[in-house]
Structure 1
Amino acid sequence: MKKNSNTENFESGYVYHIYTHANGNDLIFREEENYRYFLKKLEKYINPITEMYAYCLMPNHFHLLLRFKELKEIENEHFYLMKHFSNLLNGYAKAYNKRYNRKGSLFLDYIRRKRVDNKKYLLKLLHYIHNNPVNHGFIEDINDWKYSSYQSYINFSKESRIERKEMMQYFDTINEFVEYHKSNVEYDFLTIE
């Protein structure tokens, strides 16, 4: 039986695709400062409990690809891990609402999540997440989007908070990584609502 992507429990040690959308037709990010602020919140609440493999922030939604670090002596892992996401989204939404004199929920009531259980799915997600701005028509060239982890990979010599080694084990060179992202990949079994 297929698990619903809104109810699947988080477990430490596993890789997940996590994504959510703005409520209705709202935007999550209106200006560059919004993206920077969200990334700071991500670093504060999510980086301590994860190895981040990829992300992409879009005007009305975002995608994360990450592995939860192993936890010791935590009774309810899902609740503990979910609390970090709650803190991220609530903290960001409060600041956003204050800045734009806005009221109400900014995000959908839940974060969608899907456990990644094989290499093929993992690599398709990496491609999908980094190409999201191209697929949505915001840019034509993947290099032109500033709010994803793609630049971190192609500038491998620069320090990054992205766990690049995990993903780069599937590519012999940076050029192979770049060519993979330029290729047409069928997202046939990506269940993204």
Structure 2
Amino acid sequence: MSNTESFEYGYIYHIYTHANGKDLIFRENENYKYFLSKLLKYIIPVAEIYAYCLMPNHFHLLIRFKESDQTSAEDEHKYLMKQFSNLLNGYAKAYNKKYNRKGSLFLDYLKRKRVDDEKYLIKLFHYIHNNSVNHGFVKDINDWKYSSYHSYINLAKESKIERKQMMTYFDTINDFVEYHKSNVEYDFLTIE
């Protein structure tokens, strides 16, 4: 998995990072809410978010960068990376201030992988939503409130999550729920 893969408009990416060392990124409910507000501020203008899961020491995003002709091809990656830099730096500064902490909160780099395969996409979607179960934070996916899973099972409720694209893989909400309850092998995923 490359952390040097360049961001490009129009493509889907799996993006994730981890806390530095044994630190936590999220200690309390307010941390999660604040991070999501930063996500809306910096990422929604440049990308559609298909899925996310925020865990105490790491997070996962599944996004597609919106098409744009505002920057040249060479500057695409730099511009899109800047949005993530603003997100992570802004969050880390507030977090460090709140907890009287110094130093880097996140790893030095943002891990990312472009998603070009439909089978990989749908398994990754399952993986991200089930991350809290896979890591043993909850036994039931419904019990973790810091993921986009709840946005999908409440389609009538307005959301900033771009649900239409991923729901094309399911005939009904029941199909979506059953898929997320099923055992999916992540044999091809090399994710920390």
TM-score, length-scaled by structure 1 = 0.97
The alignment status of 1:33 with 2:30, answered yes or no, reads yes
Residues 47-66 of structure 1: matches in 2 within 5 Å? 47-66=44-63
Shift of residue 192 of structure 1?
1.2
Q: Structure 2 CA distance, aligned partners of 1:108 and 1:64?
A: 16
Shift of residue 5 of structure 1?
1.9
The alignment status of 1:107 with 2:111, answered yes or no, reads no
Helix, strand or coil: the match of 2:59? strand
Q: Structure 2 CA distance, aligned partners of 1:134 and 1:189?
A: 19
Q: Structure 1 CA distance, aligned partners of 2:178 and 2:111?
A: 29
Q: Partner letter of residue 66 of structure 2?
A: K
Q: Partner letter of residue 185 of structure 1?
A: V
Q: Structure 1 CA distance, aligned partners of 2:88 and 2:31?
A: 13
Shift of residue 73 of structure 1?
3.6
Q: Partner letter of residue 165 of structure 1?
A: K
Runs of 4+ in structure 1 off by over 4 angstroms are none
- Give the aligned CA root-mean-square deviation in angstroms: 0.7
Q: Structure 2 CA distance, aligned partners of 1:48 and 1:18?
A: 17
Q: Structure 1 CA distance, aligned partners of 2:118 and 2:155?
A: 22
Helix, strand or coil: the match of 1:172? coil
The alignment status of 1:46 with 2:43, answered yes or no, reads yes
Q: Partner letter of residue 92 of structure 1?
A: Y
Identity rate, percent: 79
Q: Structure 1 CA distance, aligned partners of 2:157 and 2:70?
A: 35
The alignment status of 1:180 with 2:179, answered yes or no, reads yes
How many pairs does the alignment contain? Answer: 190
Matched residue, 2:14: 17
Deviates more, 1:125-134 or 1:66-75: 66-75
Helix, strand or coil: the match of 1:53? strand
Matched residue, 1:154: 153
Q: Partner letter of residue 15 of structure 1?
A: I
Shift of residue 118 of structure 1?
1.2
Shift of residue 156 of structure 1?
0.7
Matched residue, 2:5: 8
Q: Structure 1 CA distance, aligned partners of 2:93 and 2:27?
A: 15
Deviations, residues 93-150 of structure 1 (Å, cap 9, x unaligned): 0000000000000000010000000110000010000000000000000000010000
Deviations, residues 28-67 of structure 1 (Å, cap 9, x unaligned): 0000000000000000000110011000000000000000
Matched residue, 2:120: 121
Shift of residue 190 of structure 1?
1.1
